[in-house]
Amino acid sequence: MNAELQLSATLESTNGVSPQWTRESAQAVHDLPFNDLLFRAQTIHRENFDPNRVQLSRLLSIKTGGCPEDCGYCSQSAHHQSGLKASKLMEVERVIAEARKARDAGATRYCMGAAWRSLKERDMDALVAMVEGVKALGMETCMTLGMLDLDQAQRLKQAGLDYYNHNIDTSERYYAEIISTRTFADRLDTLANVRDSGIKVCCGGIVGMGEEKADRIDMLVTLANLPEPPDSVPINMLIPIEGTPLVEAEPIEPIEFVRTIALARIMMPKSHVRLSAGRMAMSDEMQALCFFAGANSIFVGDTLLTAENPGEDKDSALFRRLGIKPFAREAR
């Protein structure tokens, strides 16, 4: 079957049922002429979302540094000499105060991240209080705390946690080149626990880590073929950080990054595709192409965990130029 016929068969199978994507069918989409790819992505985006609305989320590091994992991209790993000092878990009251400021600035989802391998029982009460406090502000809640077992996921669900972020980072083939302290299967197990608890899954990856095009495609195939595609799919562009093994990684070419966004939109039509880390290195034009390709969620604020992020004034100016407005806050 040639690429166009294979593509048509795959897209037809999306009518009401999530297809089982293959590397071949996904690559047939990825390799379309750029204008055709963007047209298909924008068409699917319009069928599922308002094309001129983007969700604003805020991410707070509630526990920074000292992580025992050796993820090659991360400044928070205890294995790397990034100069980042470890901190204790932030106090509940401070987290809620920061969430209130984010809400008042227009964010509708609040994400809390801790540099842990896995959640420890001694911290559960504080985390539950954080979720309950942020929910009381009328915001969606999201956490990323490392690996979870089913009981932990269920307790967070009972507290009102809406989303749990746990990225697979890259393809299964390339994964061991980036991380040795946790397996690809470990990540899938945590995703299953999150899904089984009833929490919505937020899961994506990082591009520009020296992977091949096939790895980016395989990563999206894995996500699209989960029992339920993630509700939120963050696509991060590597931020090279001094002291980490990937500081010299070859940057991904901008058009290839936009192709990855478009492919994610086509393969996961109803998911929020999040333009995440790396926006500081993106031109306004590149970001505009990403929004046209189907990205409809960003993180706002001057920092993204420990890295720089475009300021709210810069994002607001870009939105005005593009005629984009933030998602409205849902009534609760």
Structure tokens at 271: 């998911």
pTM: 0.89
> What is the rounded CA–CA span in Å between residue 103 and residue 302?
15
For residue range 152-177, list pLDDT tens digits in order: 999 999 999 999 999 999 999 999 99
Q: What is the pLDDT of residue 88?
A: 87
Is pLDDT above 50 for 199?
A: yes
Query: Between 231 and 4, whose confidence is greater?
Result: 231
CA 11 to chain centre: 24
For residue range 212-240, list pLDDT tens digits in order: 999 999 999 999 999 999 999 999 999 98
Q: 46 φ, ψ to 5°?
A: -65, -25
* Backbone φ/ψ region at 294: left (φ over 0), alpha (ψ -120 to 50), beta: left
Positions marked catalytic: 67, 71, 74, 111, 142, 202, 274
**Segment (H or E) for 274:** strand 272-275
Q: Is 163 helix (H, G, I), strand (E, B) or coil?
A: strand
Interior CA angle at 188 toward 205 and 304, to 5°?
Answer: 35
Per DSSP, 305 falls in state T
- In whole angstroms, how far apart are CA 241 and each of 88, 165, 178, 196, 254? 22, 22, 14, 35, 19
For residue range 48-102, list pLDDT tens digits in order: 999 999 998 888 889 887 788 888 788 777 677 766 677 789 999 999 999 998 8
Nearest-CA neighbor of 230 among 187, 270, 201?
Answer: 201
